[in-house]
Amino acid sequence: MPISHDTEHSIAFPILIGDIGGTNARFAILTDANAEPKEFPILATADYPSIDEAIQAGVLDRTSLQPRSAILAVAGPIKGDEIDLTNCDWVIQPKVMIRDLGFESVTVINDFEAQGLAAASLGPEYLEKIGGGEIRPSTSRVVVGPGTGLGVSGLVHARHTWFPVPGEGGHVDIGPRTGRDYELFPLYEPIEGRISAEQLLCGRGMMNIYHAVCKANGVKPAAATPSEVTAHWASGSDPAAVETIELFVTYLGRVAGDLALIFMARGGVFLAGGIVQKILPALNQPRFRQAFEDKAPHSAILRTIPTFVITHPLAALSGLAAYARTPVRFGVATEGRRWKA
């Protein structure tokens, strides 16, 4: 059963760490506090009917190590003993995992909490700075990640401890500002009558923008997937794809700036995920920072807040490993989210 008011600051090694997204699942095993994680091939969630079978076939059958503990970061709300994932058919049942896979404990946190842990622990070699501003030590941070959906996490520092703050910030409203926006917003596909940030800032959101641009321009879409849009943008072969990426980074700048104000994130805003890594040249163009800083009457504050792209290929796993090594550094709430044998 979930442990209430868990104050334990140790997790038994070896520890299986996992980042479970809507499309892919990434796993590694940490043998001890000083070891580098032993990584396993990335698994497509659609290839396995359950997370238990994915762990068995993709991890346990490939190593002689038997993890005693598991720490999983999942894309979805954590409520009770059965955890449904937002963009995946898997249901995580920690009690069943303990019974069938041999774990002594299973801890489940939000996937963007793990990204927050990464933002608190990654070295500068995994951070590419976009624009001006400087990190103020021990001040709040924000992580924003367009992927299968739009993930958001805050990170608050208090009492020498980093506290990740998960939420559903990707579902805030976003609205038109420019003349071009007013042309395009009626063409964007809404969700239950509204345009949320996630409707524009994720893989399907990129296609939402692209289809609206093509319709507004009276042209037939030349790209059918987000990867094709980014490829056509990179080659400059499709003007609609070029404008799509320009709008994508502008909207991302607006939302990132809003979140920076909400958290007063003087420690920085960190952009996570594969999409932002692919469009890094576009983020380095002025429009992202211009949109980020355009927050009157507080533009001066935004100019002092740095923005970064996280370039680590497995950032969430890196964050989970940092937590697994020294849980006392991080104020990760485990009440109702940790199960023991």
pTM for the full predicted model:
0.89
CATH for 123-310 is 3.40.367.20
Whether 5 shows a pLDDT value over 80: the answer reads no
Cα angle vertex 181, ends 175, 187, to 5°? 90
Distance CA 13, CA 26 (A): 19
Distance of CA 205 to the CA centre of its chain: 15
What is the structure's pLDDT at 112?
Answer: 86
Q: What are phi and psi of 322, to 5 degrees?
A: -60, -45
What is the structure's pLDDT at 319?
Answer: 94
Query: For residue 8, what pLDDT band results from cuts at 50, 70 and 90?
Result: low
Specify the higher pLDDT residue, 89 or 248. Answer: 248
- The rounded percent of the chain whose pLDDT value lies above 90 is 86
Task: Specify the amino acid at residue 299.
Answer: S
In CATH terms, the fold of domain 15-115+315-340 is Nucleotidyltransferase; domain 5 (3.30.420)
What is the structure's pLDDT at 301?
Answer: 97
Q: What is the mean pLDDT of the chain?
A: 93
Query: For residue 332, what pLDDT band results from cuts at 50, 70 and 90?
Result: very high
For residue range 104-140, what is the model confidence (pLDDT) as tens digits? 999 999 888 999 999 999 999 999 999 999 999 999 9
Distance CA 195, CA 171 (A): 9
Lowest mean pLDDT among 47-56, 126-135, 243-252, 325-334: 325-334
Whether 2 shows a pLDDT value over 60: the answer reads no
Over range 154-167, report the average pLDDT. Answer: 91
For residue range 20-31, what is the model confidence (pLDDT) as tens digits? 987 889 999 999
Specify the higher pLDDT residue, 334 or 241. Answer: 241
What is the structure's pLDDT at 89?
Answer: 87
**Beta pairing class for 91-92 and 161-166:** unpaired
For residue range 51-107, what is the model confidence (pLDDT) as tens digits? 999 999 999 999 999 999 999 999 877 888 999 887 788 999 999 999 999 999 999
Over range 291-295, report the average pLDDT. Answer: 98
Per-domain residue ranges of the chain: 15-115+315-340, 123-310
